[in-house]
Amino acid sequence: MTDWNRMTIACFQLGLAEGEFSPLDWWMACRERIDALEPDIQAWECLAPEPVITRYDGGDPYPTLCGVPVGIKDIIDTARLPTTWGTRGYHRVNGSDMDAAVITQLSQLGALLMGKTVSTEYAYFQPSKTRNPRDPSRTPGGSSSGSAAAVAAGMVPVALGTQTVGSIIRPASYCGVVGFKPTHGTLSVTGIKALAPSLDTLGWFTRHMDDTRTLFTTLAGSDPITILERLDGVRVGLCRLPSTPLLSSDATAALESAASKMTSLGAHISSVDLGASFDNLVTHQQNILAYEAVRALASERTHFEASMSPALKGLLDEGQDLSLERYWQSRQAADRARLALSQLAERFDVILAPSAPGVALKGHESTGDPIYSRAWTLLGVPCVNLPLYWTPQGLPVGIQLIADRYQDQRLLSIASALMP
């Protein structure tokens, strides 16, 4: 019997070519798992009908992602499926005029849309209905709640997410999956609901690094990524940014475990202190988020403000009160920090950092603190969460590896040594 949770995109494509699988097999297996688990996990806003599979003539190669089921975060436009932007239905369209650019890409590559995964309200902080598959009494994180949970539960091998603050890395850590945010601007966000355009980044969740590499090479048009077996000569900077909040003992153990593993593979690890100016990036990120959000959601605020959550209203009020001068000051601070980080990258190949303060929080009143993603998102650098550490209670605590801008391939190559 096929173990679909261990299946990778590359293995499935090989099975298709050899006649072991048909293009609908993975989709049907995922749909059966969704039917079994969705009442408890609630990862989906809506599910797609069974797809019509293109018939491929004998001898013609299958497209790269043929038959791969993909979950789509519910802030991404789809022509055939409704979009609610996580608004609990107070703002809804029954299909957009056009698919988002990434949906068209996926379709052209042969991927199959499984449905729309739950998002928090306009991808901000209001908790969603989704539960954490590792412990349903805990939050899955946000805003890409449904995508992270669906992948963790084995409902799909791949799900799209977005990150404006910490919406890929934090839920990936909480749910125990790989979460990847590429360099800002690498992938098109056309057709994706904007919250803060200078921060919004399209990424994804998988259970296997192999699948993350496959998606990056196909969607970004990258050359094949080298899989490292060892990390000899790789320079790693151990960094807690910001430096002031205290990590839980679980998060500290996760960092120490990852550092030990990297050292055993030949990497050289040293601490890096980025200084107080980098700690201030948390404030600058919030300023930019608020200023851009109130403008990006100007129409929604006009028509739906009465239905919006207090958290979202607070963000928009904050943005309304923020002066252009303060916004520009924060943008300039980010520009200076990017230059400083690029200079630092001459001494470090990657940075090892926390993904979250600890395990997923108990309860569903909060999606957790994105404090350890704010600065990296602001700087637009590529980040990947790796689920390398699990507590004795079976809860995941991720770590993130971070590289300088445009070093995505190098980052994924190094990460692949830790999760082949």
Per-residue pLDDT of the chain (420 residues; tens, 9 = 90+): 899 999 999 999 999 999 999 999 999 999 999 999 999 999 999 999 999 787 666 567 899 999 999 999 999 999 999 999 999 999 999 988 999 999 999 999 999 999 999 999 999 999 999 999 999 999 999 999 999 999 999 999 999 999 999 999 999 999 999 999 999 999 999 999 999 999 999 999 999 999 999 999 999 999 999 999 999 999 999 998 888 788 999 999 999 999 999 999 999 999 998 888 898 999 999 999 999 999 999 999 999 999 999 999 999 999 999 999 999 999 999 999 999 999 999 999 999 999 999 999 999 999 999 999 999 999 999 999 999 999 999 999 999 999 999 999 999 999 999 997
Phi, psi angle pair for 113, to nearest 5°: -75, 120
CATH 3.90.1300.10 for domain 9-220, yes or no, is: yes
Nearest to 195 by CA among 141, 127, 143: 143
**Sheet architecture: strand order including 235-238:** 44-47, 112-117, 69-73, 158-163, 201-206, 178-181, 383-390, 396-402, 350-354, 235-238, 268-271
pLDDT score of 273: 84
pLDDT of 61 = 84
The residues near 137 (Cβ < 8 Å, ≥ 6 apart) are 131, 362, 363
pLDDT at position 53, please? Answer: 80
CB 167 within 8 A of CB 143: yes
Cβ atoms within 10 Å, residue 270: 10
3-state helix vs strand vs coil in the chain, percent to 5 = 40, 15, 45
Pairing of strands 235-238, 350-354: parallel
* pLDDT of 195: 98
Residue 353, pLDDT score: 97
Calpha distance 355→46 (Å, rounded): 29
The single-letter DSSP state of residue 262 is H
Q: Which residues neighbour 415 within 8 Å (Cβ) at sequence distance 6 or greater?
A: 209, 384, 386, 401
Using only the alpha carbons of the chain, give its radius of gyration: 20
The residues pairing with 354 across neighbouring beta strands, listed in sequence order, are: 399
Report if pTM > 0.95. Answer: yes
Q: What local confidence, expressed as pLDDT, does residue 230 receive? A: 97
Domain extents in the chain: 9-220, 235-275+331-384+393-418, 281-327
